[in-house]
Amino acid sequence: MSSPVAIRPERPDQPEVVALLDTLDAYLRSLFPPEANHILDVQALLDPGICFFVARRDGVAIGTAAVRRAEGYGEVKRMFVAPGERGQRIGAQLLHALEDRLRADGIALAKLETGRDQTAALRLYERCGYTRCAAFGGYPDNGLSVFMAKAL
């Protein structure tokens, strides 16, 4: 049996967290052209309007997620679980941590943009109650993105 996962707000500029984000970025670059990747870099993730979470097992960073506060909703960003840790519902745990944070901040709607070719991510979001919605937040509706929302 594996050790429990701890999910807490942390800084995104820690070396092992940056390595996870780099892995996510490389994966996204393999799927989509640069103009279709809406990536917040580490510096942007340090903005006070963003809450960044890290999932750890035995002290080792194995997943990331962030939520950016916007007018009337919170936007899910930078969801990632290390490939060797997938299939254990860590992504769902990260997503629930983001939603709990939004609720605590009085925000009753979560939105996200993900790639149409990210089938595992789409399954996760659908399992967690997200449904497709119109483009938002200035994202282009270019056919490569899927937009989703969930009332909290």
Whole-angstrom CA distances from 48 to 43, 45, 51, 151 are: 11, 8, 7, 23
Number of domains in the chain: 1
Task: Note the pLDDT tens digit of each residue in 14-56.
Answer: 999 999 999 999 998 888 887 888 889 999 999 999 999 999 9
> Considering the domain boundaries, does residue 132 fall inside one?
no
Give pTM, 2 decimals: 0.93
- Rounded mean pLDDT of the chain? 95
> Considering the domain boundaries, does residue 42 fall inside one?
yes
- How far apart CA 90 and CA 19 sit, in angstroms, is 18
> Considering the domain boundaries, does residue 148 fall inside one?
no
> Considering the domain boundaries, does residue 144 fall inside one?
no
Task: Note the pLDDT tens digit of each residue in 72-110.
Answer: 999 999 999 999 999 999 999 999 999 999 999 999 999
Q: Where residue 67 sits, what CATH number does that domain have?
A: 3.40.630.30
- How far apart CA 15 and CA 35 sit, in angstroms, is 26
> Considering the domain boundaries, does residue 113 fall inside one?
no
> Considering the domain boundaries, does residue 79 fall inside one?
yes
Cα angle 145-104-70, degrees, rounded to a multiple of 5: 40
Quickly count helices (H) and strands (E) in the chain: 4, 7
* Joined tokens for residue 21: 């984000």
> Considering the domain boundaries, does residue 118 fall inside one?
no
| Domain interval for residue 56 | 5-107
Cα 76 versus chain centre, distance: 5
User: Whose CA is closest to 55, among 2, 110, 113?
Assistant: 2
